[in-house]
Amino acid sequence: MAKMRKDLKRIHEYHERVVGVLKMLESAPAEEQNPVQIKFLKLMLDYNENITDAAENHKPLICTWYGNAQEIAAGMGIKYYNPVFELLFHLELTDYQDAKECDHFPLDEKMCSLIRYAVYSVYNQFHPKPDCFLAMGEPCDGELMLHQAFKVNKEWKDVPHFIIDPSYGHTDEDYKYVAKQLKDMIAFLEKTTGTKYEFAKVREIVEETNRQYEVWKEVNELKQARPCPIGSFITDDMFWALTQHLPCGDPRATALMTVVRDMMKDAVAAGKGVLEKEQIRILWPDLAPQWGERLGKWLEEEWNAVVVMSFQGNTPYEKIDTSTEESMLFGLARRSVFEVPMIRQGRGFVDVMIDDVTDLINTYSINCVIDGGHMGHKDQSGSKYFLRKVCRDMEVPLLGLTTSLFDERYTPLDQLKKDISNFLSTTGFKRAKDM
């Protein structure tokens, strides 16, 4: 048997683990199966197998990040991966093995763990070497450092890279500036991967993502109902993966999102929510944490509380006009630098964050705000004063924390539970058992 390439060994491990989880889920009695979860994992398998196929058979393959107009790569038939997506997905399935290994990696432990995991994974050759990588110029300077680290890694030092220079403002001129760079990115991808750009094929992908974001917006409208028809962070996490990491513009992803929407629509029509006695509706003004599912379950059981919305779940996405190449690239530019979460709030003027928090509190009848305090992100730290002022002016209680969104060990869940319980008790809310 031929020895497996080192840069495919890890991706093969990911594949076998997901296959095992799928077999376990599908072996359960039909009435106990979760078809949404099963279909999502099958899309994960496809993602994994496509990357392996591209690496083994010398097909176009790139490394990229969320917010890099993936519609273009997908429309050009280029397979792409995010350097931490699968690692983060598998952390809990492996008792945080990579997190523990990363403790010994020579990068400051106070740095955002997303950045640390990305450098760690590339330096350990967890990914097949790409034809090129698309860097991300926002939302933090850690991203810039990360790509410099990629470039000095001996395995990737000859890998070409392209980075978009994000505009600072939010005007049509800003988006035109970025759209021009997307044209340059297309030329770069053609040169480095050997693929050809065709407007019609990219337009088809963009029209599908337009449909996906419309479904997501409908889901969020259903979340305005009280009681909320779905639990904390669920759609935030799943829809984020379907639109930003798994193959872009896949009709199967649209169908899966539509199933979730229809289930929620039925629940709202029946007056049913994830909690029969919903007491607290929470806004989480950041990305959804990696450990959010367990935090959400505890909030439901202990406090009759649900995280109704986060920045990751928010959908300020405008429909992209695909009638011309110019209008399509303009829309993709706007989406990339002004609509994708964290990039939206961390880039440019603080007014965006202030307006988003104000609007979300009003729209979703928020009772309190819990700020996760994204460790290692200066934009999050720098905006705390403004967040505090918005909440004070709107008379909505605010709890400020410091956590790693991607490594639950930084602030252990038990400690978070104590801090949140003290906050909710002090604010006057009752535990579920006392209601």
Side chain identity, residue 63 = C
Q: Tokens representing 138?
A: 């926002």
The pTM assigned to this predicted structure is 0.94
Provide the mean pLDDT of the chain: 93
Cα of first residue to Cα of last residue in the chain, in angstroms, is 63
Cα distances (angstroms) measured from residue 190 to each of 53, 187, 197: 20, 5, 7
* Region at 272 (left for phi over 0; alpha for psi -120 to 50; beta for the rest): beta
Contact indicator for 205, 74 with CB cutoff of 8 Å: yes
Contact indicator for 162, 132 with CB cutoff of 8 Å: yes
Dist. CA 325–CA 327, nearest whole Å:
6
Lowest-confidence region among 22-36, 148-162, 194-208, 373-387: 373-387
Q: What pLDDT digit, counting tens, does each position of 203-233 carry?
A: 999 999 999 999 999 999 999 999 999 999 9
Contact indicator for 142, 111 with CB cutoff of 8 Å: yes
Q: Is the pLDDT of residue 242 over 90?
A: yes
Taking residues 229-252, what's their average pLDDT? 94
Dist. CA 421–CA 427, nearest whole Å:
10
Dist. CA 339–CA 383, nearest whole Å:
18
| Boundaries of every domain in the chain | 6-198
Taking residues 127-134, what's their average pLDDT? 96
Helix (H) or strand (E) holding 131: none
Taking residues 254-281, what's their average pLDDT? 97
Output the pLDDT for position 1: 46
CA atoms within 13 A on the CB side of 70: 25
Q: What pLDDT digit, counting tens, does each position of 406-418 carry?
A: 999 999 999 999 9
Output the pLDDT for position 16: 96
Dist. CA 66–CA 76, nearest whole Å:
17
Contact indicator for 337, 329 with CB cutoff of 8 Å: no
Q: Is the pLDDT of residue 281 over 80?
A: yes
Looking up tokens 């006009």 gives 321
Q: Is the pLDDT of residue 13 over 80?
A: yes
Output the pLDDT for position 299: 98
Output the pLDDT for position 3: 64
Lowest-confidence region among 185-199, 274-288, 333-347: 333-347
User: What three-state secondary structure class fits 135?
Assistant: strand
Beta strands in 72-167 (DSSP E): 79-81, 132-135, 161-163
Q: Tokens representing 264?
A: 């929620």
Q: Tokens representing 176?
A: 């035109």
Q: What pLDDT digit, counting tens, does each position of 366-402 carry?
A: 999 999 988 877 777 778 899 999 999 999 999 999 9
Q: Is the pLDDT of residue 112 over 90?
A: no
Q: Which CATH class is domain 6-198?
A: alpha beta
Q: Is the pLDDT of residue 199 over 90?
A: yes
Dist. CA 43–CA 371, nearest whole Å:
32
Looking up tokens 């379907």 gives 242
At CB < 8 A and 24+ separation, what contacts does 351-354 make?
A: 352/170, 353/285, 353/383, 353/386, 353/387, 354/386, 354/390
